[in-house]
Chain A
Amino acid sequence: MSTIDTSTKAGAPGEPGWKRYKFADHFRNAEDEFDACKLGFWLFLATEVLLFSGLFCAYAMFRMKYPEAFAAGSHHLDVKYGGINTLVLLVSSFTVAMSIRCAQLNNQKWLRINLIITILCAFLFFFIKLAFEYIPKWSQGIRPGILYSNPFAGHPQEPTWWSVYYGATGIHALHVLIGAALLIWCLVRSFRSNQYGPTHYTMLENAGLYWHLVDVIWIFLFPLLYLIH
């Protein structure tokens, strides 16, 4: 039985959602609940970091084993699009941090605008990835593992590079989608009942943290995949 007042009657008169919010009754007070939720979320982020660190480890091992294959494969990546995507994610990290700041200041309008920009950036990232990277490569036969069918591979082990590329960026893209979904959910709740405000913005904070993690992982992936030759 939930004791959080989650009534979301649109247009309900009176208080906005963030003022009506009551913390769960097994916590002593709202600060404890907020701290607990943040601690829990940081622990979850630690698990995500460890998941990706396994991927980075595999990348490092195979780079040491087949340096020419990796150099050959890396040349096929367009730094331009990787760079644009990096900028896009950096901007979106800024806007999501701004939306949390707006929540703290009870600026509902700019909270939502910043969230919308962040979500648009997420979709832009995805679009650039698909339209300019994945789809052109896929159609040339540059695919992971056994699906690889490009006859012009520069090195016999190049398919391994592409598997690492697709694996790492694919899992990252999945996390971009999950982050975008979380942010969309926050946006919906903000519209329906002004759910986030100075005394309650836990979900928004956590979604923002997740988004920052997605950005940080890309900051590591970009140089390792695109820039190092």
Chain B
Amino acid sequence: MNMCALSIAQQSDWLTTKIFGASGASPLARESDAIFMWIFWFSTFWFVLLMGLMAYWVVKYRRRPGVAPQRSAHHNTPLELAWTIIPSLFLGYMFYVGFQGYISNLVAPTNAEVIDVQGRKWVWTITYPNGANPLTSITIANNQAAPEIYIPVGRPVQFRMTSVDVMHSFWIPDFRFKQDILPNRYSSFWIEAEEPGDHVVYCAEYCGDLHSEMSAIIRAIPADEYDAYLKSIEDPGGPPPVRGKRLVDTRGGCIACHSIDGTKGIGPTWKDAWGNAVQFADGTSLPADDPDAWDNYIRESIINPNARIHNGFAPAMASYAGAFTEDELGYIAAYIKSLSSKAPAGEIPTEEDPAEAPSN
């Protein structure tokens, strides 16, 4: 079965749609369905073969009074080797295609729009790339209030997710993917909607009383409508890097040790830091060009600065645990990111120079 052909096609075939309820909403989703259907047919073949033989032999060799069973071989090495090795080869292929599909969903394109998602008992809160976090929701089936998450059609969107309290999981059945959400850590995956439509999101990790009521709804809308929407909800406080700079200048006192122009201080400079490889004093390192690792590293450095010390610097930074809210951590990270030439284009605000932030 040619999985690529199926994923390029806009609709899955009849059986797939019948089993899954609806066709996958993106090429990656349809590819996942194709892998599933391949496994389904593989399993059906073996199952029918085995059960067919079972049924046939149960009837043919049923016990009849006075009739002795015939002798037969007790084992057959070539047959046993064959039925060990041949299925193993199929299983190896299954692993391979499964791994590829999985990685494709996890590693977002560099130009992906990043939407921050926070899970808490028992509601989702969203922060858009411009820092706005509206709390609109609609009522879906059975009187549940589901927060709306708008995404642009035709542009990749990465969900960067964390939890405020216990474990949750962000599952979008139409896109055939989920990731578990943990406190004090970011996890992420990306999707791209092909056409406008609504897609329900469920929490898929048991989190207590209202676990079954923790839904959200992703509303894919045309890209221009999405941009207009973002403009309309924009916080006068400015985009995240601007807000981050304000926090750093007023409450953080970070500039005492971290420069933004490349000079070496007590702490590493933030200029061109984000996105580049870092060597740590304990011998480990942060890889270059790994956005998730950098997001986690910045967060960890604020809350637990001595966990990993940049080579050549002393472990002098005190912890800021509890000093900033989750959102504020995100703004500071956005500001630090904006100071790097490696930041994706969307991160650097174009309307305002971060050095001239409004004074509110």
Contact, chains A and B (beta carbon distance below 8 A): yes
Beyond contacts A68-B315, A156-B319: 6 other A-B pairs, Cβ-Cβ < 8 A, are: A65-B307, A66-B304, A66-B307, A67-B282, A68-B306, A156-B321
Residues on A with beta carbons closer than 8 Å to the beta carbon of B282? 67
Closest to A156 in B: B319
**In the bound complex, what is the Cα–Cα distance between A139 and B73 (angstroms)?**
76
**In the bound complex, what is the Cα–Cα distance between A65 and B185 (angstroms)?**
14
* Residue tally, chain A, CB below 8 Å to B: 5
User: Which residues of chain B from 293 to 340 have any CB-CB distance to chain A below 8 Å in the complex?
Assistant: 304, 306-307, 315, 319, 321
> Least Cβ distance of B306 to chain A in Å?
5
**In the bound complex, what is the Cα–Cα distance between A67 and B306 (angstroms)?**
9
Interface code A45-81, partner B: CB below 8 Å = 1, 0 otherwise? 0000000000000000000011110000000000000
Residues on B with beta carbons closer than 8 Å to the beta carbon of A65? 307
**In the bound complex, what is the Cα–Cα distance between A65 and B321 (angstroms)?**
16
Residues on B with beta carbons closer than 8 Å to the beta carbon of A66? 304, 307
**In the bound complex, what is the Cα–Cα distance between A66 and B315 (angstroms)?**
13
**In the bound complex, what is the Cα–Cα distance between A65 and B306 (angstroms)?**
10
**In the bound complex, what is the Cα–Cα distance between A156 and B303 (angstroms)?**
11
Residues of B with Cβ closer than 8 Å to A?
282, 304, 306-307, 315, 319, 321
How many A-B contacts at CB < 8 Å in the complex? 8
Residues on A with beta carbons closer than 8 Å to the beta carbon of B304? 66
Task: Please classify the interface of chain A as helix (H, G, I), strand (E, B), loop, or mixed, using the class held by over half of its residues.
Answer: helix
Residues on A with beta carbons closer than 8 Å to the beta carbon of B306? 68
Residues on A with beta carbons closer than 8 Å to the beta carbon of B315? 68
**In the bound complex, what is the Cα–Cα distance between A65 and B307 (angstroms)?**
6
Residues on B with beta carbons closer than 8 Å to the beta carbon of A68? 306, 315
Residues on A with beta carbons closer than 8 Å to the beta carbon of B319? 156
**In the bound complex, what is the Cα–Cα distance between A65 and B304 (angstroms)?**
10
**In the bound complex, what is the Cα–Cα distance between A220 and B282 (angstroms)?**
24
Closest to A67 in B: B282
Residues on A with beta carbons closer than 8 Å to the beta carbon of B307? 65-66
> Least Cβ distance of B317 to chain A in Å?
12
**In the bound complex, what is the Cα–Cα distance between A66 and B306 (angstroms)?**
8
* Complex A-B, nearest 7 residue pairs according to Cβ-Cβ distance, in ascending order: A68-B306, A156-B319, A65-B307, A68-B315, A67-B282, A66-B307, A156-B321
* Residue from B304, B306, B319, B321 having most chain A Cβ neighbours under 10 A: B306
Residues on A with beta carbons closer than 8 Å to the beta carbon of B321? 156
Residues on B with beta carbons closer than 8 Å to the beta carbon of A67? 282
Closest to B315 in A: A68
7 A-B pairs in the complex with CB atoms less than 8 angstroms apart: A65-B307, A66-B304, A67-B282, A68-B306, A68-B315, A156-B319, A156-B321
**In the bound complex, what is the Cα–Cα distance between A66 and B305 (angstroms)?**
10
> Least Cβ distance of B300 to chain A in Å?
10
* Residue from B307, B319, B321 having most chain A Cβ neighbours under 10 A: B307
Residues on B with beta carbons closer than 8 Å to the beta carbon of A156? 319, 321
> Least Cβ distance of B316 to chain A in Å?
12
**In the bound complex, what is the Cα–Cα distance between A12 and B212 (angstroms)?**
73
**In the bound complex, what is the Cα–Cα distance between A67 and B315 (angstroms)?**
12
**In the bound complex, what is the Cα–Cα distance between A68 and B309 (angstroms)?**
11
**In the bound complex, what is the Cα–Cα distance between A140 and B151 (angstroms)?**
57
> Least Cβ distance of A34 to chain B in Å?
38
> Least Cβ distance of B49 to chain A in Å?
42
Closest to A68 in B: B306
> Least Cβ distance of B322 to chain A in Å?
10
